[in-house]
Amino acid sequence: MLAVRYDTGALLKVARDGRISEVALDRPLVGGDGMDLRPDGTLAVVTNALGAPGEAAVSVLRSADGWRTARTAHRAAPWADDEPTTITRTPHGSYVVDGDLGTLVTGTGLSDRYSLREFEHAPAR
């Protein structure tokens, strides 16, 4: 299992026995939020700046050593929406959600606005 630490951008690997190790990255994933481990073995990670000095972006990582290390194979930045939060894979492609969470996080109100944008990228090599 892989998880991202939102504030530092560290990618963590959780082994079946519960041990946690940090994946060595070429760039931290500060503001890391939603993730999708894809059929081609890459990991798509959505980042934002809702509560950390991150950037609205989607990064695709590849690992050649079982997620001891990973490098950025593709990066879409800045992302078209200000507050992307998660990504999901469907039979018709991968989609990134921006739910206007900044309004909720800052306590300035409620919002029923959202965007759903397809994420396209060339296969990582």
In a 3-state reduction of DSSP, which class is residue 59?
Answer: strand
Strand intervals (E) in the chain: 2-4, 11-14, 20-25, 32-37, 43-47, 57-62, 69-76, 84-90, 93-98, 115-119
Lookup: tokens for 118 = 């397809």
Binning pLDDT at 50, 70 and 90, where does residue 124 land?
Answer: very low
pLDDT at 122: 52
pLDDT tens-digit readout, 4-18: 999 999 999 999 999
Which residue bears the tokens 């593709």? 74
Write the pLDDT tens digit of every residue in 16-75.
Answer: 999 999 999 999 999 999 999 999 999 999 999 998 899 999 999 999 999 999 999 999
How much is the mean pLDDT over the chain?
Answer: 92
pLDDT digits (tens, 9 = 90+) for 106-123: 788 888 888 999 998 755
- Residue type for position 58: V
CB atoms within 10 A of CB 63: 20
pTM of the entire structure?
A: 0.90
> Which tens digits make up the pLDDT trace of 71-101?
999 999 999 998 999 999 999 889 999 988 7
